Amino acid sequence: MIMKHKEVIIGIGVGLIGYMAIIGIDILPFVFFISFATALYFISGGQLIKVKSVSIGENKKENSISFDDIGGQEVAKKELCEALDFIRCSDKIKAMGIRPLKGILLCGPPGTGKTLLAKAAAQYTNSAFFSASGSEFVEMYVGVGAKRVRQLFNQARQTAKKLNKRSAVIFIDEIEVLGGKRGQNHSHQEHDQTLNELLVQMDGISSDEDIKILVIGATNRSDMLDSALMRPGRFDRVVKVDLPDKKGRAHILRLHTRNKPLAKDVDIEYIAKDTFGFSGAQLESVANEAAILAMRENSKVITSVHFKNAIEKVMMGEKLDRFPSADEKKRIAVHESGHALVGELIFPNSVASVNVASRSNALGYVRNTQDDDMFLYTLDYLKGKISVSLAGAIAEDILLGSRSTGASSDFQHASDLARHIVFSGMSELGIISPEELPKNKLHEAISSILSNIEKNTMEMLKNNIDILKLIADELLDKETLSGDELRALISKKAA
């Protein structure tokens, strides 16, 4: 609509100037004035004439999200509710002389439900909800960002009044863009002014106001925030929003499958176990992709196979039409068989599937599963993981007589784990100070760990060379083996 208005005005303007030229009026001053105004307009990014309003996400449907619609995150929900009760009982807190809570900071990885929590907070406190992203305040021109911050707070107050609400929740996503440490930014004068304005606005929030404002910020990088923003009286509650554990994942999956027709063989607990490390957003995507796969197959219900393929798609990306040569395919099958066999020998029942189908950057991959979420790793566990990582290249060595570049990311992963062992004081160097450790000593310690494990892994695979060959052949034939099929092959050969 705005575009259309612009075009009409430009059309009339050009027509008018043309007409003036025809009837003999000197158009040069007009042309000069219009060029000057246009240049100014573009230099200012359109800001001189009208300050672009912050895109505020405010609608009733979004506000209907409640804490019941958020899976897992029980601790975050509890902490948030405790803080929000200050707003719900504002008369009580005023009587006690308690200052209102002005800001809550939600910290955690992407897609864990921070925006959902903010929306649920607005619903819980019966507030108007406004959302903006930190990057929307970033401008080159001094004063524009600050003006947008003022605009956002004013609009929140006015709209809440119109909606007959007593409070408004302003949600600022990626707050580190707007609230990063002062003096460090390229255009730091503008950045500092914008942040200062946010601090001023938050300081201006008082318990006497008709409309109570609560600012909820979300970030993955709380370490980048300016200390002034974190001091008490501004964001005085920090709520951690972590990746969901197994129970949380099952809860989120149940929420996102409640409107979907599931086949009887779908076991949500099993899918939760299979999706270790997934965020809420990835789990939502798994449920959605599974439904899409079912629809493509004209299936009336979503089966466990659809879920299995959806997990692989979300984890590894879409299957690609990349066709390696026959030799390359054989090498990929041998490589993945090495990972899978050593994985099963060291961590029984850990393999969910082995594949030689190209997805994203991988030519083949082994997907693992894990019984319980882990928060601590022992030396044996880390060594086992290194062994699994090295096993692909070693299998190539044993069956094909040479290695390939396909193992470079495995080696990177293995040396990261070895570094972890050294820094955790579990290597032959004993407890060390990472900052004081010379680089060559670190390199020697990592090399020694890796070569010992390499020797053991080589021995393990040579001792099971027949099983390795069998798995590689089956994989080459079928392109994918489930964890159960793999275990059946191992026990058939071992018997």
Residues with Cβ within 8 Å of 102's Cβ and at least 6 positions away in sequence, in order, are 202, 205, 213, 214, 215, 233, 234, 235, 236
d(CA 351, CA 460): 18
Confirm or reject binding of residue 113 to ligand ATP (CB under 6 A): yes
Please identify, using beta-carbon distances, which residue of 111 and 324 lies nearer to ligand ATP: 111
Confirm or reject binding of residue 122 to ligand ATP (CB under 6 A): no
d(CA 199, CA 225): 13
* One-letter amino acid for residue 111 of the chain: G
> Contact with ligand ATP (CB under 6 A): which of 284, 344, 397, 410?
284
**Total number of residues binding ligand ATP (CB under 6 A)?**
19
Single out the segment in contact with ligand ATP by CB under 6 A; choices: 96-104, 113-121, 139-147, 438-446.
113-121
Single out the segment in contact with ligand ATP by CB under 6 A; choices: 27-35, 193-201, 279-287, 460-468.
279-287
d(CA 167, CA 160): 6
Sheet strand arrangement including 480-482:
365-368, 351-355, 480-482
If we measure between CA atoms, which residue out of 368, 367, 365, 372 comes closest to residue 392?
A: 365
> Contact with ligand ATP (CB under 6 A): which of 73, 257, 358, 368?
73
DSSP-assigned letters across all residues of 78-117: HHHHHHHHHHHTHHHHHHTTPPPP-EEEEE-STTSSHHHH
Write out the two tokens for 382.
């880390």
- Nearest distance in Å: CB 453, ligand ATP: 37
Residues with Cβ within 8 Å of 324's Cβ and at least 6 positions away in sequence, in order, are 332, 358, 363
Q: Which of 139, 336, 344, 474 is catalytic?
A: 336
Confirm or reject binding of residue 222 to ligand ATP (CB under 6 A): no
Binding track, positions 232-271, relative to ligand ATP; x by CB under 6 A? --------------------x--x----------------
Please identify, using beta-carbon distances, which residue of 171 and 365 lies nearer to ligand ATP: 171
Please identify, using beta-carbon distances, which residue of 113 and 343 lies nearer to ligand ATP: 113
Q: Judge whether 428 counts as a catalytic residue.
A: no
d(CA 9, CA 3): 10
Span 382-441, contacts to ligand ATP by CB under 6 A: none
- Under a CB-based contact definition with an 8 Å cutoff, are residues 223 and 214 in contact? no
Please identify, using beta-carbon distances, which residue of 220 and 370 lies nearer to ligand ATP: 220
Confirm or reject binding of residue 63 to ligand ATP (CB under 6 A): no
Residues with Cβ within 8 Å of 282's Cβ and at least 6 positions away in sequence, in order, are 111, 275, 314, 315
Confirm or reject binding of residue 110 to ligand ATP (CB under 6 A): yes
SS3 of 264, please? coil
Please identify, using beta-carbon distances, which residue of 310 and 442 lies nearer to ligand ATP: 310
Token pair 């996400």 is found at: 57
Confirm or reject binding of residue 115 to ligand ATP (CB under 6 A): yes
- Nearest distance in Å: CB 25, ligand ATP: 56
Partners of 173 in the β-ladder: 133
Paired sense of beta strands 128-133 and 167-173, if any: parallel
Span 293-332, contacts to ligand ATP by CB under 6 A: none
Please identify, using beta-carbon distances, which residue of 180 and 406 lies nearer to ligand ATP: 180
Q: List, by residue number, the catalytic residues.
A: 336
Q: Which residues of the chain form contacts with ligand ATP (CB under 6 A)?
A: 70-73, 110-116, 173, 218, 220, 252, 255, 280-281, 284
